[in-house]
Amino acid sequence: MAEQLRLMAVHAHPDDESSKGAATMAKYVAEGVDVLVVTCTGGERGSVLNPKMDRPDVWANIGDIRRAEMDAARAVLGVEQAWLGFVDSGLPEGDPLPPLPEGCFALQEVEVAAAPLVRLMRQFRPHVVTTYDEEGGYPHPDHIMTHKVTVAAFEAAGDPERHPELGEPWQPLKLYYDVGFSRAKIMSLHEAMLAAGHESPYGDWMKRWEERPDKGERITTRVDCSAYFPVRDDALRAHATQIDPDGFWFQVPMDLQQRAWPTEDFQLARSLVDSPLPESDLFAGVRETCRAR
């Protein structure tokens, strides 16, 4: 029998799992892969981005509500989920930027913060791990810290001399960074909307793109998961404080999204197996290794 495949996706806050790689996870769940989402913080300092939920009772219970939303999204995606237990750092704003709150996730020592993730990796034994790049995908301090902690745990989990108290060593075989947006993807969706006679929500993005780096050049792996875009959107809507169901993320018709850009995209950052690039499967090379064991 082939070894059971396992995927771990490490995210900063509840809702990140539904906006980054969610359709890919849903696809692998449907194929029988065990998928575990690790959420580093409780999202306690997040904003309420859905105007319908911007109420005093919501703000008074934001931590509990975001946990309940995570439960709902987890059920939609069909994944397992674990909390790493750190406190949201918030997104500092202003010039100069204010200091981060004492005790928050982004101020932890990386090795200390990575320890509970090492334990989870040794318990769940993932073959593939996904997270954010060194810039956090975007420069939120918790996203950047999530990158640092995941890389540290990936490198420590298989080393028997590091953290022997955290369980039997387990070495994940591949580490990926999510590439949520690229110039080519936004251009494709923008042009598809215009061709269909719709107003594109990406007009301002196209104007600003010259000022930002294009991470499309980093993409090594494109997973065709368009059949699971509706699952992704249902999981997004489960995070009702964070996602306005009438807002930006739902302005492109589903069939147009599926035609214009049917993949979710990733950068292969570490690999201990042979998997020629470009890839179309996060488990490329892993499947062959597991069958050979």
Q: What is the pLDDT of residue 292?
A: 67
Task: Supply the DSSP symbol for 249.
Answer: G
Residue 158 contacts by C-beta under 8 Å, 6 or more apart in sequence? Answer: 169, 170, 171, 172
CATH 2.10.77.10 fits 6-182+216-292, yes or no: no
Q: What is the pLDDT of residue 209?
A: 73
**In the Cβ-directed half-sphere of 92, how many Cα atoms lie within 13 Å?**
14
Strand-strand pairing, 34-41 and 80-86: parallel
Q: In a 3-state reduction of DSSP, which class is residue 129?
A: strand
Please report where in the chains the tokens 């010039």 appear, as a residue: 95
Tell me whether residue 147 is annotated as binding: no
Q: How far apart are CA 18 and CA 241, in angstroms?
A: 13
pLDDT along the chain (293 residues), means of 10: 90 97 98 98 92 91 95 98 97 89 97 98 98 93 98 98 97 97 94 95 82 88 98 97 91 97 98 96 94 70
Q: What is the pLDDT of residue 127?
A: 98
Tell me whether residue 143 is annotated as binding: yes
Task: Supply the DSSP symbol for 37.
Answer: E
Q: What is the pLDDT of residue 154?
A: 98
Task: Supply the DSSP symbol for 149.
Answer: H
Single pTM value for the model: 0.96
The two tokens of residue 290 are 């597991």
Helix and strand numbers, DSSP H then E, in the chain:
11, 7
Domains in the chain: boundaries = 6-182+216-292
Q: What is the pLDDT of residue 293?
A: 64
Tell me whether residue 11 is annotated as binding: no
